[in-house]
Structure 1
């Protein structure tokens, strides 16, 4: 390797180190333990903080991303506006206590809605989909209605982004129309200069915010996992991600 190449490599390393320090400062300021990975679509730019490739966590409601595709592919619901009839059971989270659609169930992280469909999918089918999707550790557990909440399914920040890439590129063994439906209900923010497709998740101490954004025709994937020690920590799943995207100059600081 010549001197110029070594110099350029050195500059890149210094820049990445400085940017990781900025992200670390955000987490320490909020007293949050976590890890985040942000990648460009071409894979040439990767920003990470505290990422351990061997560390996997319960996916919680981020599993609604593949689960939505499974439900659609199995023909258990036809589109995002079809009614999912409320079972009449009162739950602590008021938005769940009414009829839902696939769109509202996704956006409100309606656990009972997806549990209703999980019973119909069944464990064997889930295991097959986890294999062909190459999602997480491919495991379910003893309860088909809870394996993504407190069962054996685990995923890492790298796993999350790997799957999001397949979603964005529509490279999954399901009908393209189902992926487009998923993308429609994943769209969470629309600004003048960029859009965000995302999903939060929470189970026990595992908190997530994962997704991708498109800005100036460039795609960036993100996966943020944080330790939830109290309910007030939940807001940092998203806020730390968005702040990290700003300090990295991926999105404008004013947003």
Structure 2
């Protein structure tokens, strides 16, 4: 049976997920294990990447491609997660099924050229929808939330 979580519980769970990698940056070498065997999954997908896992039972971090894990990248689409949480918490998005009208500007990505819900905006990375959220949230409130997230 699938239980529907309240908005606040969902927000807390996602915030915990986002913040869960913060201790990795401070992990001591003694608690870090290189998981080189995980590379086969990236090879199968013909892609580069990294994966970091905290093993609670062993109190250690496991990492594939440590160098890449320690390299800073722009957040790009990963920012959609905290951005969506902030939009929900500020009531910029009142309901995940709320429909946001298309602005009528034809863009190269076909999926962007129609009305969106939060779900479809996330699925298709509909930048104009998230730009609208950012305008409605405002820079001061956005920064307050990002500081709380330690983002």
TM-score range, shorter chain: 0.5 to 0.7
Instruction: Tell me, in whole angstroms, the C-alpha distance in 1 between the residues paired with 2:120 and 2:48.
Output: 30
Greater mean deviation of Cα atoms: 120-129 or 77-86: 120-129
Whether 1:50 aligns to 2:65 is yes
- What TM-score do you get using the length of structure 1 for normalisation? 0.41
2:98 to 61, 72, 82: 82
Q: How far off its partner does 1:54 sit?
A: 4.4
Residues 97 and 117, structure 2, Cα contact 8 Å, conserved in 1? yes
CA distance 1:92–1:131, shift in 2 (3 Å): same
Q: How far off its partner does 1:60 sit?
A: 0.7
Structure 2 unaligned regions, length at least 5: 1-29
For these two proteins, the number of residue pairs brought into alignment is 119
Higher strand share: 1
Whether 1:108 aligns to 2:117 is no
Residues 36 and 65, structure 2, Cα contact 8 Å, conserved in 1? no
Query: Counterpart of 2:18?
Result: none
RMSD: 2.6
1:223-249 deviations in whole A, cap 9, x for unaligned? xxxxxxxxxxxxxxxxxxxxxxxxxxx
Q: How far off its partner does 1:30 sit?
A: 6.2
SS at match of 1:109: coil
The one of the two structures with greater contact order (alpha-carbon pairs below 8 A, sep at least 6) is 1
Query: Counterpart of 2:52?
Result: 37
Higher helix share: 2
Query: Counterpart of 1:93?
Result: 109
Whether 1:21 aligns to 2:36 is yes
- What TM-score do you get using the length of structure 2 for normalisation? 0.66
CA distance 1:43–1:94, shift in 2 (3 Å): farther
Whether 1:62 aligns to 2:78 is yes
Structure 1 unaligned regions, length at least 5: 1-12, 136-255
